[in-house]
Structure 1
Amino acid sequence: MHEPLILAIDNGTQSVRALLFDLRGELVAKAQVPLQDYTSPHPGWAEHDPEGFWRALCLACRRLWAEPGADRARIAGVAVTTQRGTVINLDRAGRPLRPAITWLDQRRTDEVPPVGALWRAAFKLARVDGTVNYFRGEAEINWIRAHQPEVWRATDKFLLLSGYLNWRLCGRFADSSGSQVAYLPFDYRRRRWAGRRDWKWQALAVEPHMLPELAEPGARLGEIGAAAARDTGIPQGLPLLAAAADKACEVLGAGCAAPHVGCLSYGTTATINATTTRYLEATPFVPPYPAALPGAYSVEVQVFRGYWMVNWFKEQFGHHEQARALLEDVAPERLFDELARAVPPGAMGLMLQPYWTPGIRVPGREAKGAIIGFGDVHTRAHVYRAILEGLAYALREGKERIERRGGARITELRVSGGGSQSDVAMQLTADIFGLPTARPHVHETSGLGAAIDAAVGLGLHPDFDAALRAMTRVGRVFEPDAASQAVYERLYREVYLKMYRRLRPMYRDIARITGYPQRV
């Protein structure tokens, strides 16, 4: 009898992938469809047609069945993981009322629901009133009520992308507690919707009836319906299991379930995560996110736009390598690795602070990116390596913040995301952190994390410990080089950690003089 397979659907920022995994965590078959329907009607906006997400999912599944090894009869269940923070308004018939507002969107509003006087006083006393006001202004539902009141009035359901795709697949408005990373009235400590007296219900223009039912990762959400089976080719009646958001699934798929194992994600947003069963805020009043493990938290520090900066460099300065790659029929990434490898550790003193897009509290909203230390010896190659190093410095700072806030000491690293495929990026990460740094055995760690949730929920592995032992393992391990580590240690301590504090007043002056960014 053939071993069961799990179908994991991973709707990321750049593509939708349909992935089949076996119970050893091996990728049996894969199909991928790029997402090209993003629109920006105004500067800073980022929207996507909800039907476009569904069409891409359906196409990815239909392409999967043509792949070798994609035996539909062996599929035991389905799980969905998606990009975080992308929201969709539906009417009473379940039809989208407007384009999805994606996590990349930067719009905000000053027309926000009022918060009671007692809550305002408490926030001011705790010195988090600025963070709360930022939360209210950034919330998509508040912008919709202020600027598109007819959409807000017609909204019957306000879903994350994960909840929307789950509904299309099984016909229920249900989602995983592990997917709730957004401006929603969610109680991160208890991993459920906030209680009726919680301040978030005052701060957000969301009504309880607009939200889906929540289930913990691994729980059964429903079954694949007839319409979904017709559109996707997934067998009707297969169980649909709750997974979690893509970053949470990535951490699980990388095997980072113990608090001493740090998980770096070199994706569009670069992150460092540590999994813990204790509620721990790496940044005060910014909660840890729900993990893909039931009852656990993923303590996270982000570098927004992270490895987007690598793509930015390639688009702006990497035309030579991209042209060579076409002529020589090699992957462009190999040539960019050669570019970085030609530069010594420390990029001959070129230091980059990767705040191309500022955060909520750390760094402050006035932050900008910076490159210092230029000399006549520096070339494109030095800039490229400085980007890779700057991202690793920022994530090391995040690691130390997690540890200072009471997290376990992180003693080893695993790296996922597109950037993990670069040997140069992996080695300099090991050198900057001074820790052994490993790739997971498969690249598709988000999908694997979703498959692990499904495998446990279906009883194909008895528990998460057994599933992690069976389905995750490390590939190549990069050990720190002592000489490089010594250079990086001094640059990090004596230069990088001082950059933001010293440049911060000038960032504010730039914003005051030029008006960019406006919100400081």
Structure 2
Amino acid sequence: MANNPSYLLALDCGTQSVRALLFDREGQLLAKRQQAFQPPFYQGPGGSAELEAQHFWQALCQASKGLLRETGIDPKAIAGAALTTQRGTLLHLDGEGQPLRPAIIWPDRRRASQLPAIPWHWRLALMAAGQLGTVRHFQAEAEINWVAQHEPRVHAEAKKVGLLSAWLTLKLTGQYRDSVASQVGFLPFSYRRQAWAEPWDWKWQALKVRRDQLPELVAPCQLLGELSLDAAEATGLPAGLKLFAAGGDKQAEVLGAGVAGEELASISLGTTATITGLSHKYKEAVRFLPPYPALVPGAYCLEVQLNRGFWLLRWLLQEFGEVETQAAKAEARAAEEIVEELISAVPPGSDGLVFDPHMAPGVIYPGPEARGALVGLTDGHSRAHLYRALIEGIAYALKAGKDRLEKAKGQAFSGIRVSGGGSQSDTVMQILADVLGQPVSRPHTFEASGLGAAMAAAVGLGWYPDMAAAGEAMCHQGQCFWPQPEHQRTYQRLYQEIYKPIYGKLRPLYKRLLNWKD
């Protein structure tokens, strides 16, 4: 078998764990090893979210070695590998590639207050476009600027600055490179050109980073490098194994869900919930919010994001679901299983209870003032209603995103593929179908982001000529859920008459609360 390598390895570094996944050329998952971060990232006071970078590397090595040990396969039977990671996680490195401080994880909510000065001509241009405030928010959100302000020694000593994907590529290959499709974050990146911004671009003045600190960018499916001797010893993988560029986990998930063309949309029901469509032309679903590079080389992911997706269910269980949590422990079941039983007994529309899930700030829509809302609460509602209203609220937000994407693209989607943790629930899938008003289906594997990365490796190896061909061969539709007309009518009315106006009507109050003090 080693003489004819036939396996693809996907290394999927998420927010809570790393998964090493072994696929065949037909996209079937043959083996999996998951290694949780120990400890998990720390959500500290003031909104900080950090994790020592070595924990990422140690978990990746343990997952890789564990996979090989449990399967007993010859590592030389692996034809190629690809890396996909969580997005927007930033590291500052010294000249040897060693982290100078813990990685700043994407949920971090700290804000810079000392913002770099933008030249007057750019300020005038941005003011004329009505975007100076948005750019100032962009600067405050940028982790690079926070480090420059609060940790000037780290800022001064950093020889390399980049995302987690770039550092893991450096650890694996010795090359400071990163995929174009991993550049999702507050960086001087041109989304239109899919390259680092031109030298004259305002982003270089807005962010405390230099071009020589950033990694070399590689297009999706192209070679990032080969596994070094040190990395081979640490991971158990063969030295010289080719590592191909994939991209951020959400972009990889789109491909792994079976969306390689413009006719389908992908919904991810993970910690963050997203709805994404592909476009071969630069288009903005929300004005001034750029589309991200796709794993399809040269294409764009038009994405509408709900910053707090199925994390909200965990939050609700943690804060208000003691009964369900204790029952789950007593019955040796997951609390989510009990929640599914509860919401199945509540009628569609939750007896008039509507939840707006925009509980985390955004940049433009929702804006930095964003907050959640629960509308229609009465003493006749129970915790079961709260759980169902939360799921329906996420579905409403995704429907609003779908409307934006279709308007930007100028065409309706013919189908919806759904992946992520929430997609494992039949009840959630049915609610989505009813709210969206069209069939939704799962991909054949739950590990959609890993499959998308494996597809990038397959194209890089020349097994398939492009991502469309790889998708045809490696992505297979799973169970499909069809909208129920009566439920669809209920949801359509609640969506149009109640959900859609909520945020706009409450936004002025949210803005007052943003600056509210005792």
Structure 1 length normalisation: TM-score?
Answer: 0.96
The correspondence of residues 479-490 of structure 1 with structure 2, limited to 5 A, is 479-490=482-493
Q: Does 1:30 align with 2:32?
A: yes
> Of 504, 508, 512, which aligns to 1:505?
508
Deviation at 1:453, TM superposition (A): 0.3
2:145 corresponding residue in structure 1: 142
Shifted more, 112-121 versus 403-412: the winner is 403-412
* Cross-structure match for 1:210: 213
Aligned partners of 2:163, 2:512: CA distance in 1, in Å?
Answer: 38
In 2, distance between residues paired with 1:336 and 1:46? 28
User: Which whole-Å CA distance do the structure 1 matches of 2:269 and 2:286 have between them?
Assistant: 21
User: Secondary structure, in 3 states, of the residue corresponding to 2:70?
Assistant: coil
Match of 1:20 in 2: 22
Give the Cα–Cα distance (whole angstroms) in 1 for the partners of residues 381 and 264 of structure 2.
Answer: 36
Deviation string, structure 1 residues 148-171 (Cα, Å, up to 9, x no partner): 111111100001000000100000
The 3-state SS of whatever aligns with 2:12 is strand
Corresponding residue of 2:258: 255
Q: In 2 relative to 1, CA 352–46 (structure 1 residues): closer, same or farther, beyond 3 Å?
A: same
Output aligned runs, 1:95-244, within 5 Å: 95-244=98-247
Deviations 1:338-391 (A, max 9, x none): 111010000000100001112111122222111111122211110000000001
Q: TM-score, normalised by structure 2?
A: 0.97
User: Shift of residue 283 of structure 1?
Assistant: 1.1
Partner of residue 288, structure 2 = 285
1-structure distance, mates of 2:350, 2:492? 14
* 2:64 corresponds to which of 46, 61, 77: 61
Whole-angstrom distance in 2 between the partners of 1:407 and 1:71: 49
User: CA shift at 1:508, angstroms?
Assistant: 2.9
CA distance in 2, matches of 1:147, 1:327: 47
Q: Distance in 1 between matches of 2:405 and 2:133?
A: 22
Q: Distance in 2 between matches of 1:70 and 1:253?
A: 24
Q: What SS does the corresponding residue of 1:159 show, helix, strand or coil?
A: strand
Contact 2:16 2:40 in 1 (8 A): no
User: Match of 1:7, as an amino acid?
Assistant: L
**Residues 462 and 513 of structure 1: CA distance in aligned 2, closer, same or farther (over 3 Å):** closer
- CA-based RMSD of the aligned residues comes to 1.4
Amino acid aligned to 2:9: L
- CA–CA separation in structure 2 for the residues paired with 1:459 and 1:258: 20
Aligned to 2:464: 461
Q: Secondary structure at the match of 1:65?
A: helix
Deviation at 1:71, TM superposition (A): 4.1
Kindly state the Cα deviation for residue 41 of structure 1 after the two structures are TM-superposed. 4.7
> Cα deviation per residue 1:444-464 (whole Å; 9 max; x = unaligned)?
101100000001001122322
Aligned to 1:4: 6
Aligned pair count? Answer: 515
* 1:173 to partner: Cα distance: 0.2
The match for 1:295 among 295, 298, 309 is: 298
What is the rounded CA distance, in whole Å, between the counterparts of 2:270 and 2:5 in structure 1?
A: 32
> 142-151 vs 238-247, which deviates more?
142-151
| 1:176–1:244 Cα contact (<8 Å) kept | yes
Provide the residue aligned with 1:450 in structure 2: 453
Aligned residue for 2:46? 43
Counterpart of 1:21, as a letter, is F
Question: Post-superposition shift, 1:69?
Answer: 6.5
8 Å contact kept, 2:395–2:435: yes
Within 5 Å, which residues of 2 pair with 1:396-415? 396-415=399-418
Amino acid at match of 1:453: A
Greater shift, 144-153 or 421-430, is seen at: 144-153
| Identity rate, percent | 49
Shift of 1:505: 2.5
Q: What amino acid maps onto 2:67 in structure 1?
A: L
